[in-house]
Structure 1
Amino acid sequence: MPDRAPQQVDRQLPTDEARELISLVRDIAQREIAPKAAEEEDAGHFPREVFALLSASGLLGLPYDAEYGGGEQPYEVYLQVLEELAAARLTVGLGVSVHTLASYALAAYGTKEQQVEHLPAILGGGLLGAYCLSEPSSGSDAASLRTKAVRDGDHWVITGTKAWITHGGIADFYTVMARTGEEGPRGITAFLVPADADGVSAAPPEKKMGMKGSPTAQVHFDGVRVPDGRRIGEEGQGFAIALSALDSGRLGIAACAIGLAQSALDEAVAYATGREQFGRPIADFQGLRFMLADMATQIEAGRALYLAAARLRDTGRPFAKQAAMAKLHCTDTAMRVTTDAVQILGGYGYTADFPAERYMREAKVLQIVEGTNQIQRMVIARHVAGPETR
């Protein structure tokens, strides 16, 4: 059955412009995204037309400078937009987050000339990006990546394979981390690679338990020549750029997780208040009421956590620890809440006639992408207790 339109969260937004923005996003989500979500996810359809609409509406560059076509919105607002989109369909919310992640290196570390040349098309010209860090043999240990970029005059020749790439095969550009020097993190450099460059190809999309509408694929770089003008930052700065991007990207995943959890709660509440057993709605039974109360509390706590981290970022203060906490808590919350939603719907929750089972399948990947939750715990522990002694 079609997804139910999500309840409108009572948001505390800093400006009238932000309130108008959220109103626009809700309209697009309820009119263009939610009604088709179940059918298109089942068919494995990626809604490129929705991303074209989001780009034309100024929603693919929200946290970036207006000078280059961005929305110049604080992260506090941008993340709430992501939550609204993910509540309608996770493929869309996560896709916007990944595009923002892929745009980060150029927006934060590119030269003025690079930004003038490339950012307008990326932020508002209908292009879609992908972020290429992980490889078949280096996931959590990203600093051991093997993709190489070798200098050849005023060009670089990139060779290697990236894995688990969201938008792999459909992106218009790839932000690629490649080894240009010594082993370890100090030998990695970032590049902006057009998807139509000779030697770029993608494997067939992975067959996944959820997020079937969002293609995830290996991307191969077979002697791809890119000019030095597409190198982002200094040689050897790529890993630092990648980690900085991930701090912000983890907040995007946190917001998407809360949007998904909110939709699962809405579905559970609607079912529990409408389903009668023993002569009354099952929402009257204490066992279910307490489950709903716990679900709602976890969601509100997660929303507060990601917004607190966003406000730190917006004021220029360190936020890496809080970003890891938000990613950890919000994605674990999404897994718990979607699992409880299936339980509340009972047998119906296990069928594809209701979206609860899809929400549960989709939630799992959020505990894995952009740093597994085990990695988040390591990051948090280092901030709390200092680095490991060995």
Structure 2
Amino acid sequence: MIASLDKQLGDPRDPAAPGSRERALHDDEQAAFPQTLYTALDAWGLHHHYVPRRLGGQFHSFEELLALTRVVAQRDLTAAIAHAAVFLGSAPVWLGGSDDQQRRLARLVLDGGAVAFGLTEEAHGSDILASDTHARLADDGGFVIDGRKWLINNASRSTAALVFARTRPEGGPRGFGLFLLDKRALDPGSFAPLPKLATHGIRGADISGFTLRAARVPESALVGPAGGGLDLALKTLQVTRTLCAALALGSAQSALKLTLDFALGRQLYGRSMLTLPAVRLALVESFVDLLVCDAVGRVAARGLHVAPEQFSSWSAVVKYFVPATLEQAVRRLAGVMGARHFLRQGPEGLFQKVLRDNALIGMFDGSAAVNLQSIAAQLPFLLKAGEGGEDPRRASLFDLSANLPAFDASRLALFDHGADLVVGAPPPAGMPASAAPLLAQEAEALAALRREVAALRDQPGAMKASAAMFRHARAYCDRHAAAACTQLWAANAPRLDPLVTDGHALVLALRRLSGLPLDEGNASFAPVYETMLEWHRRGGAALGFSHF
């Protein structure tokens, strides 16, 4: 399926292909919507994978959806974000809508209609509890909605929109609702799109907003129970934050491939650029970062099926760690590109677009600060000592050949009161000897983090948002990533490509996450460097521990 989608998009070096580099760069220069690529995605049927099978769609698993989205993000992040926004806008209905709402929206999406998620407002940003959009009861039992939504993807192009609105004047956790609006059914003049916003990255995306003026909607427009809008919005973000990993992975993978294309043909000082130690180091660091983030993202996508009740924290870990790590990787690669990363034309011209586009991912569905705060608030529960025993769920979580259970949205929760299924996993047997010292160091780092958080817990007010708690939240993300890499490697080693069965990539991943330097004196450096070059020779397709 992944190969089929990639084939549909054509050779990226062919200017006539819908997913070509030249087309992506041209659309970006014109700040034009990537219609050709978007149409090719629809023709392949990507939107069918946003709809549950029971409603006529082809959604199978979040792991599959992550992989499909990643393929598109490698070609053009603008198109990937625009198309994936249909799933974002639909997800609240799949999670909490009535049977009738789900059937109606499924028909709209399967027919190629776009959906927008009207959550944020210009005056309030991520503080959605301050929303000024109001929905008041009408005499006929429906609602009248007034307000202005801003910085919304697909705001103008969409056929339908999910709108987050205040249903009680005082607001509060039970004072908001989510409303499914079919724009075609609204009274003329009650819906007005706002002008397209000029953005630094994803220039061609339909990022704008809309104003609602006495927009009358029936009672059936309310998604979920009265007063349940905040709960449903937050649970939706648990799913979509996890899938943001696909956007960052695809974009950073594109950056690495572009950089290797350049570096392999570049001569400096009478020799290949790749003979320079600083260049090799930057490339290997970025390659290893991609491997780590692949592990974090893929395990999380499977985790939505295995342990959805943990995703108030787990989704925040993924949404903070993967975009932040890969944004640094792309910036590091820009250093290898040198002056070429400023060019907007020629074979290297696409890199500057990838650099700008990739930087936006960390702001979607909650910024780094928002996600770190969420992690920090749940650390005492996530770091419960003594709860890392055997758990049968881990078999289907880490073993990529194991079947996944069906996703159960009813198990999503607003707060995670249990120990992390990933971080709490027992040390696996049969690990490479070269990884043993690093795994021991990881165990001590986790124990130290537990002690530090426990000490803070006993200090009045210390568990509130603070620099210390943010530092511990970042450290926790590193421990989670190390555990994901370790467990994924251990569970799948017999099926791995011979390139990585020796464990060298795992060793460098653990070194990165422990804050240890990578250098050519390390016995694992040269094998991983050669693995990276072999990946590029194979065409630079899917990248990760699980793919070699």
Q: Give the TM-score, by structure 2 length.
A: 0.65
Deviates more, 1:64-73 or 1:187-196: 64-73
Q: Is the counterpart of residue 157 in structure 1 residue 167 in structure 2?
A: no
CA distance in 2, matches of 1:43, 1:195: 28
Q: What is the aligned counterpart of 2:239 among 241, 248, 253?
A: 248
Unaligned segments of structure 1, at least 5 residues: 1-20
CA distance in 2, matches of 1:237, 1:382: 22
How far is 1:307 from its partner? 0.9
Checking the alignment, whether the CA contact within 8 Å between 2:181 and 2:217 is kept in structure 1 is: yes
User: What are the Cα deviations for residues 100-143 of structure 1, in whole angstroms up to 9, with x where unaligned?
Assistant: 11001111211112222331222x11101111111112212111
How far is 1:223 from its partner? 0.9
Distance 1:375 1:61, change over 3 A: farther
CA distance in 2, matches of 1:232, 1:148: 15
Checking the alignment, whether the CA contact within 8 Å between 1:102 and 1:130 is kept in structure 2 is: yes
SS at match of 1:60: helix
Q: Which residue of 2 aligns with 1:357?
A: 352
Q: What is the aligned counterpart of 1:178 among 151, 161, 165?
A: 165
How far is 1:69 from its partner? 2.6
User: What are the Cα deviations for residues 363-382 of structure 1, in whole angstroms up to 9, with x where unaligned?
Assistant: 22112121001111111112
How far is 1:327 from its partner? 1.3
SS at match of 1:332: helix
Distance 1:48 1:231, change over 3 A: farther
Distance 1:52 1:316, change over 3 A: farther
CA distance in 2, matches of 1:329, 1:73: 26
How far is 1:355 from its partner? 1.4
How far is 1:208 from its partner? 1.1
Q: Is the counterpart of residue 194 in structure 1 residue 182 in structure 2?
A: yes
Structure 2 residue identity aligned to 1:165: I
Q: Give the TM-score, by structure 1 length.
A: 0.90
Q: What is the aligned counterpart of 1:339 among 331, 341, 351?
A: 331
Q: Which residue of 2 aligns with 1:263?
A: 254
- Structure number with greater Rg is 2
Aligned residues: 369
How far is 1:389 from its partner? 4.8
Structure 1 runs of 4+ off > 6 angstroms?
Answer: none
Q: What is the aligned counterpart of 2:361 among 349, 366, 383?
A: 366
Unaligned segments of structure 2, at least 5 residues: 11-16, 382-414, 416-462, 466-548
Structure 2 residue identity aligned to 1:85: V
Q: Which residue of 2 aligns with 1:348?
A: 340
CA distance in 1, matches of 2:92, 2:126: 20
Q: Which has the higher contact order (CA 8 A, sep 6+)?
A: 1
Structure 2 residue identity aligned to 1:59: L
User: What are the Cα deviations for residues 303-353 of structure 1, in whole angstroms up to 9, with x where unaligned?
Assistant: 110111111102243223222111112211232122122211111111112
Checking the alignment, whether the CA contact within 8 Å between 1:306 and 1:323 is kept in structure 2 is: no
How far is 1:63 from its partner? 4.9
Q: Which residue of 2 aligns with 1:203?
A: 194
CA distance in 1, matches of 2:265, 2:36: 35
CA distance in 2, matches of 1:265, 1:49: 25
How far is 1:201 from its partner? 1.3
Q: Which residue of 1 aligns with 2:113?
A: 127
Structure 1 residue identity aligned to 2:217: V
Q: Which residue of 1 aligns with 2:18?
A: 32
**Greater strand percent: which structure?**
1
- Identity within the alignment, %: 24
CA RMSD between the two structures: 1.7
SS at match of 2:46: coil
Q: For residues 265-304 of structure 1, what are the structure 2 equivalents within 5 Å? A: 265-304=256-295
CA distance in 2, matches of 1:297, 1:357: 22
User: What are the Cα deviations for residues 65-109 of structure 1, in whole angstroms up to 9, with x where unaligned?
Assistant: 223232121101100111110010001211232211100111121
Q: Which residue of 2 aligns with 1:323?
A: 315
Q: Is the counterpart of residue 222 in structure 1 residue 199 in structure 2?
A: no
Structure 2 residue identity aligned to 1:84: V
How far is 1:240 from its partner? 0.6
Structure 1 residue identity aligned to 2:199: K
CA distance in 1, matches of 2:303, 2:358: 26
User: What are the Cα deviations for residues 20-68 of structure 1, in whole angstroms up to 9, with x where unaligned?
Assistant: x101211123342234111011111113454344334331142532232
